[in-house]
């Protein structure tokens, strides 16, 4: 694209104060100068060459400013790392994720030591509910001091909920994968229940609040799966491969409800 630059006559006239120019020429030149570096350089050269009064005035201003500019402390280098992280996680989430990962490690250690529940892997028992803890923490009133502000912004709502959920899963799922690989539990056995629980927490959370939903589902999990398994020392049906279609159905239903009720996450109610 060829750019038309201002003529030397106009630039020289402008440098002398613009009195010899028509108003529309001045206006067009100023609009052009804002976007054109070449013409700005030509203008400053014209000022230096032709109007010593202005040039000396500019020098005086600079010499007055220099000591002040030298006294201003340089801006400290910005910490981009935390800014990028906080677009994915609540800034107060890190301790919670650490807790979730350490619970995984603890279950793994108990499994390896063999003190757990005999035949049943503790990693398998806890895997589906661990991400739920993280999701609850990312949308909870008690753990996020700025929850009311967060609820009022345009970015609030499903988009932010999914972003934070994805961040929680990105931390928890690899930890569980490693634990599962060490104890010999296949990923298929727990990954689907894990995702189903997460989506159900969000779906229920749109109605009663995410934290309450997480507490309810955690209790249900403990009563329906953990307690019978520990009592009978046999893997509950829910965690055997036969249960997978059911988990798939729950996951689909949960996701559907979350999408249908997407507006519910941008009000204070979801933070209960």
Partner 1 sequence: MVPAVSAADIAPTAYAWEIRATGLKVKVGRKRMAVDGLDLSLGTGVHGLLGPNGAGKTTLIRALATVLRPAEGTLELLGESVGGLGEHRAVRRRIGYLPQEFGYYKRFTVREFVEYMAWLKEVPKAEIPAAVQRAVERVGLADRADERMKALSGGMVRRVGIAQAIVNDPTILLLDEPTVGLDPAQRLRFRELLQELGTDTCVVVSTHLVEDVAAACTDVVLFAEGRLVFHGPPDELASVGGPEHVGDSPLERGYSALLLNPGQGKGTW
x/- letters, 72..111, toward partner 1 (CB under 8 A): ---xx-xx--xx--xx---xx-------------------
Kindly tell me which of 189 and 266 has the beta carbon lying closer to partner 1: 266
Q: What is the dihedral of CA 151, 152, 155, 157, to 10 degrees?
A: 40
Kindly tell me which of 183 and 255 has the beta carbon lying closer to partner 1: 255
204 contributes a contact to partner 1 by CB under 8 A? no
Tokens encoding 84: 């990028």
Kindly tell me which of 30 and 50 has the beta carbon lying closer to partner 1: 30
- Residue from 16, 32, 40, 234 touching partner 1 (CB under 8 A): that is 32
d(CA 107, CA 131): 15
163 contributes a contact to partner 1 by CB under 8 A? no
- Residue from 18, 51, 99, 157 touching partner 1 (CB under 8 A): that is 157
Q: Which stretch binds partner 1 (CB under 8 A): 171-179, 230-238, 243-251, 264-272?
A: 264-272
Helix axes 37-50, 8-15, angle to 10 degrees: 60
69 contributes a contact to partner 1 by CB under 8 A? no
12 contributes a contact to partner 1 by CB under 8 A? no
Cβ pair 157, 262 in contact under 8 A? yes
29 contributes a contact to partner 1 by CB under 8 A? no
Min dist CB 97 to partner 1, Å, is 16
Kindly tell me which of 12 and 144 has the beta carbon lying closer to partner 1: 144
154 contributes a contact to partner 1 by CB under 8 A? yes
146 contributes a contact to partner 1 by CB under 8 A? yes
Kindly tell me which of 53 and 77 has the beta carbon lying closer to partner 1: 77
Kindly tell me which of 151 and 226 has the beta carbon lying closer to partner 1: 151
Tokens encoding 56: 């000396």
- Helices assigned H by DSSP within the chain: 8-15, 23-35, 37-50, 52-71, 80-86, 94-113, 122-126, 130-138, 147-152, 158-183, 187-208, 210-221, 227-232, 244-260
d(CA 271, CA 166): 18
Cβ pair 243, 237 in contact under 8 A? yes
In the chain, the largest separation of any two C-alpha atoms, in whole Å, equals 99
d(CA 240, CA 128): 13
Kindly tell me which of 37 and 79 has the beta carbon lying closer to partner 1: 79
Footprint of partner 1 (CB under 8 A) = 31-32, 34-35, 75-76, 78-79, 82-83, 86-87, 91-92, 144-158, 160, 261-264, 266-268
């Amino acid at each position: 694209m060829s750019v038309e630059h201002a003529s030397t006559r106009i630039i020289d006239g402008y440098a002398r104060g613009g009195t010899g120019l028509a108003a529309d020429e001045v206006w067009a030149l100023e609009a052009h100068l804002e976007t054109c570096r070449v013409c700005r350089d030509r203008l400053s050269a014209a000022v230096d060459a032709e109007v010593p009064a202005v040039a000396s005035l500019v020098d005086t201003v600079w010499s007055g400013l220099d000591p002040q500019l030298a006294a201003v402390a340089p801006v400290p280098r910005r910490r981009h790392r935390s800014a990028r992280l906080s677009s994915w996680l609540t800034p107060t989430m890190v301790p919670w994720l650490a807790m979730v990962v350490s619970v995984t490690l603890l279950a793994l250690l108990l499994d390896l030591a063999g003190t757990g529940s005999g035949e049943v892997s503790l990693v398998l028992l806890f895997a589906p509910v661990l991400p739920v803890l993280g999701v609850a923490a990312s949308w909870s009133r008690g753990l996020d001091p700025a929850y009311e502000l967060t609820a009022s912004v345009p970015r609030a709502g499903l988009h932010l909920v999914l972003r934070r959920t994805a961040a929680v899963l990105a931390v928890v799922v690899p930890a569980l994968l490693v634990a599962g690989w060490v104890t010999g539990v296949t990923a298929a056995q727990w990954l689907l229940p894990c995702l189903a629980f997460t989506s159900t927490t969000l779906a229920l959370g749109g109605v009663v609040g995410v934290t309450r939903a997480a507490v309810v589902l955690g209790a249900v999990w403990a009563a329906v799966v953990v307690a019978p398994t520990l009592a009978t020392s046999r893997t509950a049906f829910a965690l055997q491969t036969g249960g997978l279609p059911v988990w798939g159905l729950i996951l689909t239903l949960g996701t559907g409800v979350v999408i249908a009720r997407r507006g519910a996450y941008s009000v204070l109610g979801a933070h209960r």
